[in-house]
Structure 1
Amino acid sequence: MKGFYLKASGIIQNTVKHRFIFALLLVVVSPSLWAEAGLPVLSVETNEAGNQEYSVTLQILGLMTLLTFLPAIVMMMTSFIRVTVVFAILRQALGMQQTPSNQILIGLSLFLTLFIMSPVIEQVNENAVQPYIAETITATQALDAAQAPFSRFMLEQTRESDLVLFMDLSATPPLSEGQMPPFKVLVPAFIISELKTAFQIGFLLFIPFLIIDLVIASILMAMGMMMLSPLIISLPFKIMLFVLIDGWALVVGTLANSFT
């Protein structure tokens, strides 16, 4: 029986080895066979208008590369920054470290970002995605058309001082009227502006909860209960206040209106 198992394992190893060698030869030999057959696997052609058209393989490769930057695009070029920072400050102001959990806050932030960015997404779909699917524009033209709505959105939310700062740092020449700043300037300026706005909203959220903490701490000190943590007593009152004023609706509504 032992010899049978040894023989079977040897056959399996030889089979796997042969398949690996065959796959390696296929990868090495296939490009030359494709080249001899004249298949446009990796090719760039120039059309009559002078624009370059890429083969389907290159377009798929470019699309897969863009998908790796999708998390950065969602986090740094949309309303996701402001929403997540405000929610994190709100949780800290309430005095709850893990409630709501990070998964809930991130999920809420993603759906709220989708809601806020829906006009921009519709413009991208109408001006870039659908014409590209219909093959009326090239991939380069589709990227330019998709970039324009995001640039306008970020420019509307960017402070002029932050934009001037990064233009000076990058030695960008002054822009003419109606000209969009380059992405290397607009994106970091937008991020700084969003962080500044999120901290301003978070400061306003902190004030009523800070007042409750001060009142509870003063009452406990006057009663001589200095060994009892004020956070334990103030937490139910802060939760009750937040629920009574319908805090989630106020915060979400304020965030959504802050982008209009």
Structure 2
Amino acid sequence: MIRPGLHRLFHLFAVALPVLIFCLPAMAIDIPVPKVELTITQAKYPKEMALSLELLLIFTVLSLAPSLVMMLTAYTRVFIVLSFVERAIGLQQLPPRQILAGMAMFLTFYIMAPTFTVIYHEAVMPFYNQEVPTQTAYAKTMHELRKFMFSQTREKDLGLFFRLSSTPAPKSRGGVPTHILVPAFMLSEMKTAFTMGIIIYIPFIVIDMVVASVLMSMGMIMVPPAMISLPIKVLIFVLVNGWDLLAYSIVKSYHLV
């Protein structure tokens, strides 16, 4: 049996539904709907064409911004080292990749803060205040980024790409093309990151070997060594304040401390 309250609610819904159905079209007429048009017309002046190309270039650069962050900053080294720590401890999805990427990003901002500060004061703000043209702002930005990349790039890696391109090595850094400097910088970053990762890996490998040897000597062959070594590695990493040491080592590798 239907309760009186539910019965009244049913009647109210039955009466309101047709009203809403017939009134919604009338209500929709009063609501202005914007119309968006995208038209392509012929440029009357060369400046209009140049402005369109600049806008297209800006949107292209914005779409490539994540790749530029990885290629021209300290992000590559930081993320690889953090990934090595995750693999060395043996944790599968802890911390998640998103957390590692976020931590790597903010450590990158910290490491790149001196460079970004100079770019902001000497390139971004003058360009925003219309004191310098786009070309000057771009040149100052690339000058600071190249200065940072040169400080972390090995001469051997630069020489490798000069040999691959059959280009004679210049006498000064100003003559090094950016398309040679960037891959050499990334190669140096990966070499340094893998070197740091191997050094981080060694203590955890020792723990795994010790645990496996103890289990073998006790005759516990059926017990997976990872089941015992994982909490031990996590405990040791926490006791030695591993995250602080890791962040300090990464920043120290850029000679900022």
Normalising by the smaller structure, the TM-score range is 0.7 to 0.9
Bigger Cα displacement from structure 2, 170-179 vs 123-132? 170-179
Residues 1:213 and 2:225 aligned together: no
- Following the alignment from structure 1 to structure 2, what is the Cα–Cα distance between the partners of residues 114 and 130? 19
Aligned twin of 2:49: 42
- Following the alignment from structure 2 to structure 1, what is the Cα–Cα distance between the partners of residues 250 and 113? 15
Aligned twin of 1:142: 137
Residues 1:240 and 2:235 aligned together: yes
Aligned twin of 2:194: 199
Contact persistence 2:159–2:169 (CA under 8 A): no
Contact persistence 1:59–1:139 (CA under 8 A): no
- Following the alignment from structure 1 to structure 2, what is the Cα–Cα distance between the partners of residues 253 and 108? 13
Aligned twin of 2:102: 107
Task: Report the alpha carbon displacement of residue 219 of structure 1 after superposing the two structures with TM.
Answer: 0.4
Aligned twin of 1:160: 155
Task: Report the alpha carbon displacement of residue 177 of structure 1 after superposing the two structures with TM.
Answer: 3.0
Task: Report the alpha carbon displacement of residue 178 of structure 1 after superposing the two structures with TM.
Answer: 4.5
Bigger Cα displacement from structure 2, 183-192 vs 57-66? 57-66
Larger radius of gyration: 2
- Following the alignment from structure 2 to structure 1, what is the Cα–Cα distance between the partners of residues 190 and 72? 12
Q: Of the candidates 249, 253, 257, which is equivalent to residue 258 of structure 1?
A: 253
Aligned twin of 2:77: 82
Q: Of the candidates 62, 80, 86, which is equivalent to residue 91 of structure 1?
A: 86
Please identify runs of 4+ aligned residues in structure 1 that moved more than 4 A: none
- Following the alignment from structure 1 to structure 2, what is the Cα–Cα distance between the partners of residues 212 and 206? 10
Q: How many residues align?
A: 225
Contact persistence 1:151–1:180 (CA under 8 A): no
SS at match of 1:227: coil
Alignment-mate amino acid for residue 124 of structure 2: V
What are the Cα deviations for residues 120-174 of structure 1, in whole angstroms up to 9, with x where unaligned? 1111111211111121211111111110111011111011111100011112222
- Following the alignment from structure 1 to structure 2, what is the Cα–Cα distance between the partners of residues 166 and 234? 43
Alignment-mate amino acid for residue 154 of structure 1: M
Seq. identity, %: 39
What are the Cα deviations for residues 55-95 of structure 1, in whole angstroms up to 9, with x where unaligned? 4x443332222111211111111110001101111111001
Aligned twin of 2:63: 68
- Following the alignment from structure 1 to structure 2, what is the Cα–Cα distance between the partners of residues 126 and 180? 25
Alignment-mate amino acid for residue 205 of structure 2: L
Alignment-mate amino acid for residue 41 of structure 1: E
SS at match of 1:256: helix
Aligned twin of 1:12: none
Bigger Cα displacement from structure 2, 246-255 vs 167-176? 167-176
What are the Cα deviations for residues 10-41 of structure 1, in whole angstroms up to 9, with x where unaligned? xxxxxxxxx89xx5xx825xx25x63xx6953
TM-score by length of 1: 0.80
User: Structure 2, unaligned stretches of length 5 or more?
Assistant: 1-24, 26-34
TM-score by length of 2: 0.81
